């Protein structure tokens, strides 16, 4: 018993010294935590259009979904026994803050940036208004960002990742892929990163196995429900929506089986591309079948790839336009935290699996906190928390910030040529290109690129740690060499 007070005192003293050495970051983290606590305590979680209701329905009736992987519904399912959307949002806030701490610790370990400079690289993640909104929503973005950033931090913790780091990164990136399918290219890029780093076969195999086991397991679960090994059955449908910006059946000459997917309006006069997926009166919706039927997915995939092959320049221009819009167009429309309340059963109800939105919300929450939102009647249009309102100006700067980060990262890669620290920059660019090439323009799709771009620039341009500043070993044998 006599050892306890001394040990406790020594531990508290160590924490106090750590806080003093990182005072700027500690203050920013405390302020960010307070903002999130205010949001969680004063605002109802955001149910963003139909997506949130689909996630809730899948959490109540777990199954591999045909539209998107069911990783986020499984996350909701794990928290379901507590019957609290507020708890879900709180966990998302905590995971986001853990990712912030990881990035800051990595920068302090791998560079000699002072604490205040390393803190600047995470301030947009702590106080970003779009980031705060997505953490406060029953949506997959916040979880995807936390898993992806966590995987990158662990991957870069050592200059040459040991087996344990490769395995943890593989598990986290597999988890991110099961939350959003856009994580799959990141898994492949991480394998390439390990090979180029010449880390040896063990870390590469450890990463590949750790990533493959959850993904293959999910694929087999999908097969048991839908008859084929896959993560989704929607890739062709979404790619069809993408190419409808430019697809010209006069140039493509599609076969008769695909001709019914042609649009009458000429390119340049058509509505937003996702209109051709979700809304009545479009060629896809007029087929009179489930738009995520396996045969429809095959047909739309064939049509889309035909358009890309026959009109490659139009496709490239479309991708460049939408990827550039993340940067060139200011993010001036900062949505309030309760803006998107209300369920529209006519827009895309086909992918809400057998659920009634009101009943599902009530079953998960066991209360009426969000039932008014699910009904879409008299939903409380509450203003955002004061802290988030003050940060509304951030929406004006996000596009500019992202553009500056990408250019600074590209310059750093060209000057330093270090693949290990260019890795997060490559991932950031990939995350911008994927939605532009395969889906539709939506600013929330660019959100995961921001923390990775910030990390890349800090690593590329931060001063390397001086030789006299040792770092802790990565394992019992190898000591980390730092940038």
The residue extents of the domains of the chain are: 12-232+332-461, 235-314
Task: Report the distance separating Cα 136 and Cα 93, nearest Å.
Answer: 8
For residue 112, what pLDDT is reported?
Answer: 84
Phi, psi of 46 (to 5 degrees): -80, 125
The alpha carbon dihedral of 205, 223, 71, 338 has a sign of: positive
Radius of gyration of the CA atoms of the chain, in A: 23
* Residue 471 near residue 109, CB atoms below 8 Å: yes
CA atoms within 13 A on the CB side of 254: 23
Name the residue among 352, 462, 324, 389 with its Cα closest to residue 43: 389
For helices 235-243 and 312-328, give the axis angle rounded to 10 degrees: 90
The alpha carbon dihedral of 62, 66, 70, 72 has a sign of: negative
Which runs of consecutive H residues, i.e. helices, occur in 256-311?
256-259, 275-278, 294-310
For residue 339, what pLDDT is reported?
Answer: 38
Which residues sit opposite 464 in a β-bridge? 111
Provide the 8-state DSSP code for 273: T
* pTM for this predicted structure: 0.88
For residue 81, what pLDDT is reported?
Answer: 94
Which residues sit opposite 473 in a β-bridge? 479
Task: Report the distance separating Cα 127 and Cα 119, nearest Å.
Answer: 12
Which runs of consecutive H residues, i.e. helices, occur in 111-231?
115-120, 123-127, 129-135, 141-156, 163-179, 184-196, 201-226
Tokens coding 424: 């997060």
* Residue corresponding to tokens 């009904």: 375
Cα-Cα-Cα-Cα dihedral of 28, 33, 36, 37, to 10°? -140
Tokens coding 462: 């931060």
Name the residue among 17, 125, 134 with its Cα closest to residue 451: 125
Which region holds residue 354: left if phi is over 0, alpha if psi is between -120 and 50, else beta?
left
* Residue corresponding to tokens 């590469």: 204
Which residues sit opposite 137 in a β-bridge? 46
Could you state, in chain order, the average pLDDT of each consecutive group of 10 residues for the chain (483 residues)?
Answer: 52 68 92 93 78 90 93 97 93 97 94 90 89 91 97 92 95 98 95 90 96 97 95 94 93 92 88 84 85 92 96 94 79 44 44 71 76 47 44 63 85 74 90 89 85 91 55 49 37
């Amino acid at each position: 018993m006599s050892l306890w007070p001394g040990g406790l005192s020594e531990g508290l003293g160590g924490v106090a010294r750590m806080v003093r050495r990182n005072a700027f970051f500690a203050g920013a983290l405390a302020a960010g935590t307070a903002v999130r606590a205010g949001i969680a305590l004063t605002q109802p979680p955001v149910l963003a259009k139909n997506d949130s209701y689909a996630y809730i329905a899948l959490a109540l009736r777990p199954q591999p979904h045909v539209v998107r992987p069911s990783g986020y519904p499984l996350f909701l399912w794990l928290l379901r026994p507590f019957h609290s959307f507020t708890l879900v949002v709180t966990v998302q806030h905590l995971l986001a803050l853990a990712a912030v701490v990881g990035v800051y610790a990595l920068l302090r370990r791998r560079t000699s940036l002072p604490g205040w400079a390393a803190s600047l690289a995470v301030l947009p993640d702590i106080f970003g208004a779009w980031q705060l909104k997505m953490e406060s929503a029953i949506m997959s973005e916040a979880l995807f960002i936390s898993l992806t950033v966590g995987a990158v931090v662990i991957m870069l913790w050592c200059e040459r990742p040991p087996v344990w780091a490769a395995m943890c990164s593989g598990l986290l990136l597999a988890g991110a892929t099961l939350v959003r399918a856009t994580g799959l290219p990141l898994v492949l890029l991480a394998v390439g990163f390990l090979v180029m780093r010449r880390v040896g076969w063990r870390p590469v195999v450890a990463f590949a196995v750790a990533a493959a086991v959850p993904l293959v397991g999910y694929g087999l679960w999908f097969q048991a429900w839908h008859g084929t090994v896959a993560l989704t059955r929607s890739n062709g449908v979404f790619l069809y929506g993408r190419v409808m910006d430019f697809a010209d059946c006069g140039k493509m000459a599609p076969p008769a089986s695909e001709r019914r997917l042609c649009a009458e309006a000429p390119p340049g006069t058509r509505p937003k591309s996702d209109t051709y997926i979700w809304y009545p009166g479009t060629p896809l919706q007029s087929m009179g079948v489930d738009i995520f039927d396996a045969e429809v997915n095959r047909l739309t995939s064939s049509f889309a790839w035909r358009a890309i092959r026959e009109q490659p320049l139009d496709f490239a221009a479309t991708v460049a336009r939408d990827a550039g819009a993340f940067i060139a167009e200011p993010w001036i429309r900062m949505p309030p935290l309760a803006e998107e309340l209300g369920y529209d059963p006519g827009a895309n109800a086909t992918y809400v699996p057998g659920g009634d939105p009101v009943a599902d919300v009530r079953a998960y929450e066991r209360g009426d906190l969000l039932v008014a939102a699910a009904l879409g009647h008299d939903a409380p249009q509450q203003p955002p928390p004061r802290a988030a309102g003050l940060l509304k100006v951030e929406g004006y700067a996000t596009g500019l910030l992202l553009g500056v980060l990408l250019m600074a990262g590209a310059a750093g890669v060209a000057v330093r040529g270090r693949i290990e620290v260019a890795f997060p920059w490559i991932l950031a660019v990939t995350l911008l290109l994927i939605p532009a090439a395969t889906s539709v323009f939506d600013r929330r799709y660019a959100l995961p690129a921001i923390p990775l771009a910030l990390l890349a620039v800090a690593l590329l341009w931060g001063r390397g740690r001086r030789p006299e500043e040792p770092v802790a070993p990565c394992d019992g044998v190898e000591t980390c060499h730092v940038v």
